């Protein structure tokens, strides 16, 4: 096997971080990383799991679990001896059996527009990216679910990195913890972090259990207290898992569509060959019908000359109108147009602004609710579709990508 390890380069940006942007072993909880593998990392557990751990392993009352959750997620405390409303005996038990191990910040970088990106070490070799995007009255955190991604969407920077593994629950919720601590977020009191989108690296529905558990902590009042509609899971179209998600969770759903017909979508999103547009739309209908009043956002990355022509808009409009009709609800389908964010080695270009506006108008004229996503974090490669961590690639995709680049005379280090 020819696994290839990307050197720590804050991948994709081509910039080597200066000393000011580095934070050595930044977290108090990071110290616990070496505390021993047999200890239970409490970040792995949602409320039900934590209650079980306190009752069954520690022989303690359930409400003690609630106290600890608040210390971790509201006050961002990871050291048990700082949890001052716990008795000495309990603190000693926790010390012996548990730890709060948060991701280590490999480095972080603020953008001039307020966007903030973290590169978080997940183990000795892999790292993922997490991005906070502030906007008027809201703060959205874009969270990763896997180290790399196996789905190979053609316009996605993450895809060029290949895939290593799923993130654990602790590694997913740990991203929220890092951002919340940085922002001084306190649920229901100091609301800096108002939305979470599972749109970072990876396909969240391929890591179902860990993602669902982490989203449960995001929505729990003892966790981050976010309303269901403020937690969004974005999928490339894992049809069976959309149904499963509908059975266990009420979060908002977003679908990476990017083309309304099978031929083009199969080219852009290879998963479409397995779950074509009609099957995907049927699963989306079932999701909405299960949760009356909910809507689905269809993301559509605008690529010059690829999927941005008026005929593509008309095709998309028909698909969206058909969706609204099928679920008998106005605006059940929303379209979010995303100007493509270029990355080194890509064969795609961003659609011109005028073409995007024409596309949007055609959709709006067909009574399809359509927004255009403002590009954020451009200067730190934190824009949508640009996230790349450090992935020990098990798929050989990085090697293939580099080979293609070299053949085309691209920069040999462009993929790093």
Piece of the chain touching ligand SF4 by CB under 6 A; list 180-188, 197-205, 302-310, 367-375: 197-205
Query: Is the distance from CB of 388 to CB of 160 less than 8 angstroms?
Result: yes
Buried b (16+ CB within 10 A) or exposed e, 292-311: eebbbbbbbbbbeebbbeee
CA distance 32 to 54: 19
Single out the residue of 6, 120, 142, 149 in contact with ligand SF4 (rule: CB under 6 A): 149
156 is in an annotated binding site: yes
Contacts of 300 (CB under 8 A, 6+ apart): 257, 258, 307, 316, 335, 336, 337, 338
156 touches ligand SF4 by CB under 6 A? yes
What minimum distance in Å lies between the beta carbon of 256 and ligand SF4? 6
Give catalytic residues, as residue numbers: 129, 384
Residue 73 known to bind ligand: no
Give bridge partners of residue 303 from the DSSP assignment: 350
284 labeled part of a ligand binding site: no
210, 170 contact by CB (below 8 A): no
Binding mask 241-280 for ligand SF4 (x = CB under 6 A): ---------------x------------------------
Q: Is 202 in the site for ligand SF4 (CB under 6 A)?
A: yes
User: How far is 190 from 211, CA to CA, in rounded Å?
Assistant: 25
Instruction: Provide φ and ψ at 326, rounded to 5°.
Output: -65, -35
Give the binding range for ligand SF4 (CB under 6 A) out of 17-25, 121-129, 155-163, 343-351.
155-163
How does 50-61 read in b/e, with b if 16+ C-beta sit within 10 Å?
Answer: bbebbeeebebe
Q: Can residue 151 be called a binding residue for ligand SF4 (CB under 6 A)?
A: yes
Q: Is 153 in the site for ligand SF4 (CB under 6 A)?
A: yes
**What is the smallest separation between the CB atom of 156 and ligand SF4, expressed in angstroms?**
3
Confirm whether residue 256 is marked as ligand binding: yes
Scanning 30-38, 150-158, 312-320, 349-357 for contacts with ligand SF4 by CB under 6 A, the matching segment is 150-158
**Is 74 annotated as contributing to ligand binding?**
no
CA 189 to chain centre: 25
Q: Which is nearer to ligand SF4, 68 or 151 (CB)?
A: 151
Question: Is 234 among the annotated ligand-binding positions?
Answer: yes
Regarding 236 and contact with ligand SF4 (CB under 6 A), the answer is yes
Please answer whether residues 9 and 344 qualify as being in contact, where contact means their C-beta atoms are separated by less than 8 angstroms: no
Q: How far is the CB of 303 from ligand SF4 (least distance, A)?
A: 13
The values of phi and psi at residue 239, to 5°, are -50, -55
Q: Quick one: which of 43, 83, 100, 159 contacts ligand SF4 (CB under 6 A)?
A: 159
Return the axis-axis angle of helices 310-327 and 353-365, rounded to nearest 10°.
Answer: 40
Name beta bridge partners: 335.
Answer: 298, 370
How many Cβ atoms sit within 10 Å of the Cβ of residue 7?
Answer: 9
Q: Is 203 in the site for ligand SF4 (CB under 6 A)?
A: yes
Indicate the residue among 174 and 237 with the shorter CB distance to ligand SF4: 237
Residue 236: partners with Cβ closer than 8 Å, 6 or more residues away? 151, 153, 203, 255, 256, 269, 271
Nearest distance from C-beta of residue 241 to ligand SF4, angstroms: 12
Q: How far is the CB of 205 from ligand SF4 (least distance, A)?
A: 9
* Span of 42-50, 55-63, 199-207, 355-363 interacting with ligand SF4 by CB under 6 A: 199-207
Q: How far is the CB of 201 from ligand SF4 (least distance, A)?
A: 6
- CA-atom Rg of the chain in angstroms: 22
Using CB under 6 A, list all residues that contact ligand SF4. 149, 151-153, 156, 158-159, 201-203, 236, 256
| Binding-site residues from annotation for [4Fe-4S] cluster | 149, 153, 156
């Amino acid at each position: 096997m020819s696994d290839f390890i990307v050197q720590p380069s804050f991948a994709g940006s081509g910039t080597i971080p200066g000393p000011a942007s580095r934070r050595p072993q930044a977290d108090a909880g990071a110290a616990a990383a070496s505390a021993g593998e047999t200890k239970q990392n409490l970040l792995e557990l949602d409320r039900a799991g934590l209650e079980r751990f306190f009752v069954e392993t520690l022989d303690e009352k359930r409400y003690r679990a609630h106290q600890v959750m608040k210390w971790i997620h509201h006050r961002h405390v990871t050291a048990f001896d700082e949890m001052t409303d716990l008795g000495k005996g309990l603190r000693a038990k926790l010390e012996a059996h548990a730890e709060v191990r948060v991701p280590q910040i490999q480095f972080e970088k603020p953008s001039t527009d307020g966007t903030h990106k973290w590169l978080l070490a997940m183990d000795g070799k892999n790292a993922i990216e997490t991005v906070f995007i502030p906007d008027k009255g809201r703060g959205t955190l874009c969270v990763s679910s896997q180290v790399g991604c196996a789905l190979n969407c053609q316009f996605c920077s993450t895809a060029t990195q290949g895939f290593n593994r799923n993130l654990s629950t602790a590694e997913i919720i740990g991203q929220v913890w890092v951002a919340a601590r940085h922002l001084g977020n306190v649920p229901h009191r100091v609301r800096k972090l108002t939305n979470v989108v599972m749109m970072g690296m990876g396909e969240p529905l391929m890591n179902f259990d860990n993602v669902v558990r982490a989203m449960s902590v995001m929505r729990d009042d003892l966790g981050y207290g976010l309303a269901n509609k403020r937690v969004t899971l974005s999928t490339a179209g894992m049809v069976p898992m959309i149904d499963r998600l509908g059975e266990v969770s009420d979060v908002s759903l977003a679908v990476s569509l990017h083309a309304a017909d099978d031929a083009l979508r199969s080219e852009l999103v290879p998963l479409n060959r397995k779950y074509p547009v009609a099957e995907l739309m049927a699963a989306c209908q079932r999701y909405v019908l299960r949760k009356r009043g909910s809507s689905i956002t269809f993301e559509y990355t605008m690529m010059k000359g690829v999927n941005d022509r008026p005929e593509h808009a008309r095709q998309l409009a028909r698909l969206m109108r058909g969706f609204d009709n099928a679920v008998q609800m106005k605006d059940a389908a929303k379209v979010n147009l995303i100007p493509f964010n270029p990355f080194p080695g890509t064969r795609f270009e961003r659609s011109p602004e005028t073409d995007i506006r024409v596309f949007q108008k055609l959709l709006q004229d067909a009574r399809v609710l359509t927004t255009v996503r403002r590009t954020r974090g451009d200067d730190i490669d934190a824009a949508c579709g640009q996230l790349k961590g450090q992935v020990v690639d098990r798929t050989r995709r990085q090697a293939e990508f580099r080979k293609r680049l070299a053949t085309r005379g691209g920069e040999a280090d462009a993929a790093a």
